[in-house]
Chains A and B, each alone.
Chain A
Amino acid sequence: MAKKVEEVAVTRHEDSGEASRPLRVPAVDIEEQTDEYVLTAEMPGVARDGAEVTVEEGVLLLRGRTRQDVDPEPEHVEFHAGDFERRFRILPDIDPGRIAASMKDGVLTVRLAKQEKAKVKKITVESSE
Chain B
Amino acid sequence: MALLPKRRTSDEERGWLFPELWSSPFGDFWRALDLSGWREGQLTPTINVAETDDAVTVTAELPGVTPAEIEVTVEGDVLTIHGEKNEEKEEKGKSYHRIERRYGSFSRSIHLPSSVQSDKVKASSKDGVLTVEIPKREDAKPKKIKIDVK
Q: Do A and B bind each other?
A: yes
Q: Tell whether B61 is near chain A: CB-to-CB under 8 Å.
A: yes
CB-defined contacts of A101 to chain B, threshold 8 Å = none
Cross-chain contact A76 with B63 (CB below 8 angstroms): no
Give the complex CA separation of A28 and B64 in angstroms. Answer: 12
CB interface residues, B 22-51, toward A, < 8 Å: 30, 33, 35, 46-51
Question: How many A-B pairs fall under 8 Å by CB?
Answer: 106
Chain B residues whose C-beta falls within 8 Å of the C-beta of A74 in the assembled complex: 48-50, 59
Q: Is the CB of A42 within 8 A of B51?
A: no
Closest chain A residue, CB of each to CB of B128: A106
Question: Within 8 Å CB of A5, what residues of B?
Answer: 97-98
Structural contact, B47 and A76, CB atoms closer than 8 A: yes
**CB closest residue in chain A, given B53:** A72
Give every chain A residue within 8 A of B93 (Cβ-Cβ).
Answer: 33-34
Contacts of B96 on A, CB cut-off 8 Å? Answer: 29-32
CB of B71 closer than 8 Å to a CB of A: no
Cα separation A89 to B32 with both chains bound (whole Å) = 47
Contact residues in B for A79 (Cβ distance below 8 Å): 46-48, 61
Measured CB to CB, the residues of B under 8 A from A are 30, 33, 35, 46-52, 59, 61-66, 90, 92-102, 125-129
